[in-house]
Structure 1
Amino acid sequence: MAAKRIAVFASGQGSNFQAIADAVREGKLDVSIELLVCDKPSAPVVERAKHAGVDAFVFKPKDYPSREAYETEIAEELRKRQVDLIVLAGYMRILTPTLVEPYYGRMINIHPSLLPSFPGINAIGQALEHGVKVTGVTVHFVDGGLDSGPIIAQTAVPLYEEDTEASLAKRIHEAEQKLYPYVIGLIAQEKVAIEGRKVIVKP
């Protein structure tokens, strides 16, 4: 089985990009990172991609007349590289059907809560504000809604009374960096299937 070809979309620091790249470099993850897509030219993730030897498509949304316009260009870059799987890793743009529809079942996202709790922005702050005892990390397929696609895997992260947003975020990010390469590995081994709202993970 040929290694899956993936594209990582990110907008910021790129810690999850780095975790994936490290897993590939260490031989723990049998995929090929073909492309980084980034909407912020100054984002640290761009430098991480350069160090990892990964091509980057970097753009400024304001340079395009619409979301569909830049997503059409992204789609062409994905096609040129025969990308099998899109991995959203802190990509802060809402996606349109231009990308979501052709890649449904082949596009995943990671979110810093136990969905369906606390979708959208500031999930870590929401968890603290609500006083929950457990939050976590979710990897799910992207369906065009707000963090609403079928859930593939979740990891629980406890909250402590002394937690601040920074201390909780640190543990959340550590959990993300373990869970995301693991899930990508399952998909690369073709062990993941969608059946309606449910995701079946084969042994």
Structure 2
Amino acid sequence: MAELRIAVFASGQGTNFQALADAANQERLDGASLELLVCDKPEAPVVERARRAGIDTFLFRPKEYPSREAYEQEIIAELTRRGVELIVLAGYMRILTSVLVKPFYGRMINVHPSLLPAFPGVNGIRQAIEYGVKVTGVTVHYVDGGLDSGPIIAQRPVEVLDGDTEATLVPRIHAVEQELLPWVVQRIAAGAVELDGRHVRMG
């Protein structure tokens, strides 16, 4: 069975990218290979992580293009050339258009630091603390073009402790992200994830 070719999109530190690279290196992704990092900030730390891991990069600066659609067309051409079958958004901070979402629907996932549908969008951890919830968590979901609104694949809870601040909660959320995301990718690579409307079944 051919390996599932994956492109990871990231914009920043790349801790979730690193978790995937480590899982691949330790042969915990079962038939998946990281083919490419797509990054909109060529100076971001994630680029150095990819270099150290021996993973190719596609780097671009959005301001050099006339529109989002223009650079997404170029990204699609690169993904097609490499035979990429799954996109993993791991801290990619750009809004996607239908140019990219439509051809990859059901083959594009995102990790989000809350138990969706609660606290979508930016600052999900801060939103949870400000709201006063006792439990938040991590969601991995398919991307459908809305604001963190795609079908949910997997979720894990994280307790919000008395006295938690964003600074104390963030590391616990990130630790769960770095466990859950590689696990979901492995299940997809194994053919154990089935998308049916808004419902996702795990085999």
Within 5 Å, which residues of 2 pair with 1:7-156? Answer: 7-30=7-30, 31-156=32-157
Work out the CA distance in 1 between the residues paired with 2:178 and 2:161.
Answer: 21
Query: Deviations 1:73-127 (Å, cap 9, x if unpaired)?
Result: 0000000000010000000001011110000000000000000000000000000
Q: Distance in 1 between matches of 2:116 and 2:23?
A: 25
- What's the CA shift for 1:140? 0.2
Deviates more, 1:162-171 or 1:148-157: 162-171
Deviation at 1:194, TM superposition (A): 1.0
**Which SS does the other structure have where 1:95 is aligned?**
coil
Verify: 1:188 aligned to 2:202, yes or no: no
CA–CA distance in structure 1, aligned partners of residues 200 and 28 of structure 2: 23
What amino acid maps onto 1:199 in structure 2?
V
Structure 2 residue matching 1:193: 3-state secondary structure = strand
TM-score (norm 1): 0.99
**d(CA) in 1 for partners of 2:124, 2:82:** 33
Q: Hey, what's the Cα distance between the residues in 2 that align with 1:167 and 1:12?
A: 20
Matched, 1:4 2:15: no
Unaligned runs of at least 5 residues, structure 1: none
Distance in 1 (CA, whole Å) between partners of 2:195 and 2:167 is: 35
Task: Count residues in correspondence.
Answer: 202
Q: What's the offset of the Cα at 1:147?
A: 0.1
Q: Distance in 2 between matches of 1:73 and 1:7?
A: 14
Task: Give the CA deviation at 1:29.
Answer: 1.2
* Structure 2: gaps spanning 5 or more residues: none
Q: Aligned to 2:78, what secondary structure does the other structure show?
A: helix
**2:181 aligned with 1:172:** no
Structure 1 outlier segments of 4+, above 2 Å: none
**Residues 34-69 of structure 1: per-residue CA shift (max 9 Å, x gap):** 110000011000000000001101110000000000
- Give the Cα separation in 2 of the matches to 1:130 and 1:32: 39
**Deviations along 1:153-198, whole A, 9 cap, x unmatched?**
0000000112110110000000000000000001001111111111
Equivalent residue number for residue 162 of structure 1: 163
Sequence identity, in percent?
A: 67
1:54 alignment partner AA: I
Deviation readout 1:2-48 (Å, 9 max, x if unpaired): 11100000000000000000001011113111110000011000000
TM-score by length of 2: 0.99
Q: Distance in 1 between matches of 2:166 and 2:188?
A: 32
In structure 1, C-alpha distance between the alignment counterparts of 2:99 and 2:191, rounded to whole Å: 25
Which whole-Å CA distance do the structure 2 matches of 1:158 and 1:91 have between them?
Answer: 26
